[in-house]
Amino acid sequence: GAGVSQSPRYKVAKRGQDVALRCDPISGHVSLFWYQQALGQGPEFLTYFQNEAQLDKSGLPSDRFFAERPEGSVSTLKIQRTQQEDSAVYLCASSLGTANEQFFGPGTRLTVL
Amino acid sequence: QKEVEQNSGPLSVPEGAIASLNCTYSDRVSQSFFWYRQYSGKSPELIMSIYSNGDKEDGRFTAQLNKASQYVSLLIRDSQPSDSATYLCAVHAGGTSYGKLTFGQGTILTVHP
């Protein structure tokens, strides 16, 4: 596709539910990043993939957060037992390599009630 | 001390004026610097990247980098109301940080007619 796509665009979950957020990067982009953006703040790094390898997950806030990219293209960020503090916009970005410019998808706005 | 600092604003300039946005960073080994524009409710859009000391111009935008002072700025000439947005400064440390970007909290720019 022309750009990074994410789905769903909006997700409302009840506290305790599991959610899965999908990211489809720009074709040919090796690197894929997940960020979390709270209202009024800049994006915060969550995790990074190079192809199918998750090379950095230092930003994941708890073990309830899990990400995968099994075939080196589409990635899924899963949040188990959602809490209200998980409410944020989750952004996916891709780039040709680690030192290259990153391009963001439209984001998924997660609201946990 | 935050790793990347920006004045949150809001910065208000009249149409046609020069808007000057500033960013400082704490990690001396930082290698790549980016400016993103984010409209309300949208995802960050890359507008400028700069890698070496000096100025880089692209249309109405000029990015300036001074690694000795750990300072990067963005100038917007002939500001238009459509430039009203939040501008995010992002820094890539390089090395073992892979492609992780560290963002400032963003500066809100308002261009009034």
- Give pLDDT tens digits for B31-60: 899 999 999 999 999 999 999 999 999 999
Task: Tell me which residue has tokens 């990153």.
Answer: A102
CA atoms within 13 A on the CB side of B42: 13
Q: Give the phi and the psi of residue A16 in degrees, each rounded to 5.
A: 100, -15
- Looking at the complex, does the CB of residue B55 fall below 8 Å from at least one CB of chain A? no
Chain B environment of A59 (Cβ under 8 Å)? 100
Sheet strand arrangement including B71-76: B4-6, B19-25, B71-76, B61-66, B54-58
Residue A94's pLDDT is what?
96
Whether B96 shows a pLDDT value over 90: the answer reads: no
- Longest CA pairwise span in chain A (Å): 38
pLDDT in 10s for each residue of chain A, 113 residues: 589 999 999 999 999 999 999 999 999 999 999 999 999 999 999 999 999 999 999 999 999 999 999 999 999 999 999 999 999 999 999 999 877 899 999 999 999 99
On whether the CB atoms of residues B1 and B18 are closer than 8 A, the answer is no
Whether B71 shows a pLDDT value over 80: the answer reads: yes
Chain A environment of B101 (Cβ under 8 Å)? 33, 35, 43, 45, 102
Mean of all residue pLDDT scores within chain B: 93
Q: List the single best residue of B27, B37, B101 to mutate versus A (max A Cβ within 10 A).
A: B101
Note whether B92 contacts A106, CB cutoff 8 Å.
Answer: no
On whether the CB atoms of residues A36 and A92 are closer than 8 A, the answer is no
Task: Please state the rounded mean pLDDT for residues B73-83.
Answer: 98
Note whether B101 contacts A33, CB cutoff 8 Å.
Answer: yes
Model confidence at B28, pLDDT cuts 50, 70, 90, reads: confident
| Residue A86: strand, helix, or coil | helix
Task: Give dist(CA B64, CA B94) in Å, integer.
Answer: 19
Task: Give dist(CA A45, CA A27) in Å, integer.
Answer: 22
Q: List the single best residue of B100, B102, B103, B105 to mutate versus A (max A Cβ within 10 A).
A: B100
Out of A41, A44, A55, the one facing B98 most closely (by C-beta) is: A55
Residue A100's pLDDT is what?
84
Give the tokens for residue A18.
């599991």
